[in-house]
């Protein structure tokens, strides 16, 4: 069986222009990862267009919907390619779709990309309940590949770095964000009322309701706005 290590992954992502990625230890989740259980998760992010993200403070537009779909397609292509390349080396690997709601009642996917990303050290969960990175704020989309390859893992992020900032809370027109700060193990509902968020989005922005977030909260994030500067 050929070797697979951090250097191999680094070259793989560099060749595809991906700078923010990491490896998560999923064994801490005690079998909660997709079946069969995989002990490692490779998390990566693709940045959204910054000008488009800054343009949706009043709500999503067609440019945002198109960009959302474009980036999701890139993530799904990368995830499929990486899992295929890992399997070619001799290990098991599957990728998780960039945006696929499988639990309509809980308004959730099969497994949260954000969990893999925080365990891999990519960022923290903001008060807006999205992953926040230091380089692009929440203006990113996430991909995840699950594998049994014995990869070295990164240092998890376990606490929020939002501090006293509440820009996303004030920006949310649905009043769905509680303003609580995240730390590892906190349930999503402590930060966000997903039903209130989803219902508002469907009622107010139904023309863009194809799986997209309205993301008014994310557009207000200072970490995202800071990335606009040269």
Cα-based angle 226, 14, 155 (whole degrees, multiple of 5): 65
Nearest one of 172, 220, 215 to 65, comparing CA atoms: 215
Q: Return per-residue pLDDT of the chain as tens, 230 residues.
A: 567 889 999 999 999 999 999 999 998 875 555 656 789 999 999 999 999 999 999 888 889 989 999 999 999 999 999 999 999 999 999 999 987 554 434 333 468 999 999 999 999 999 999 999 999 999 999 999 999 999 999 999 999 999 999 999 999 999 999 999 999 989 999 999 988 988 888 887 766 555 567 899 999 999 999 998 77
Query: Whole-model pTM?
Result: 0.89
Strand 21-25 and strand 124-125: the pairing is unpaired
């Amino acid at each position: 069986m050929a070797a697979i290590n951090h250097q191999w992954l680094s070259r793989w992502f560099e060749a595809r222009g991906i700078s923010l990625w990491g490896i998560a230890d999923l064994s801490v989740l005690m079998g909660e990862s997709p079946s069969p259980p995989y002990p490692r998760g490779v998390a990566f992010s693709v940045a959204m267009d910054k000008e488009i993200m800054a343009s949706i403070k009043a709500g999503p537009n067609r440019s945002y919907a198109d960009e959302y779909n474009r980036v999701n397609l890139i993530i799904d292509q990368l995830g499929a390619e990486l899992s295929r390349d890992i399997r070619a080396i001799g290990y098991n690997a599957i990728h998780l779709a960039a945006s696929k709601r499988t639990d309509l009642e809980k308004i959730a996917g099969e497994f949260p990309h954000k969990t893999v990303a925080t365990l891999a050290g990519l960022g923290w969960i903001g008060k807006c309940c999205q992953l926040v990175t230091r380089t692009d704020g929440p203006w990113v989309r996430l991909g995840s590949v699950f594998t049994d390859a014995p990869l070295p893992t990164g240092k998890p992020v376990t606490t929020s770095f939002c501090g006293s900032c509440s820009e996303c809370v004030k920006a949310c027109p649905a009043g769905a964000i509680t303003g609580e700060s995240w730390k590892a193990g906190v349930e999503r509902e402590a930060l966000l009322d997903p039903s209130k968020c989803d219902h508002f989005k469907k009622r107010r922005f139904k023309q863009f309701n194809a799986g997209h977030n309205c993301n008014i909260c994310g557009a207000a994030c200072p970490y995202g706005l800071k990335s606009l500067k040269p």
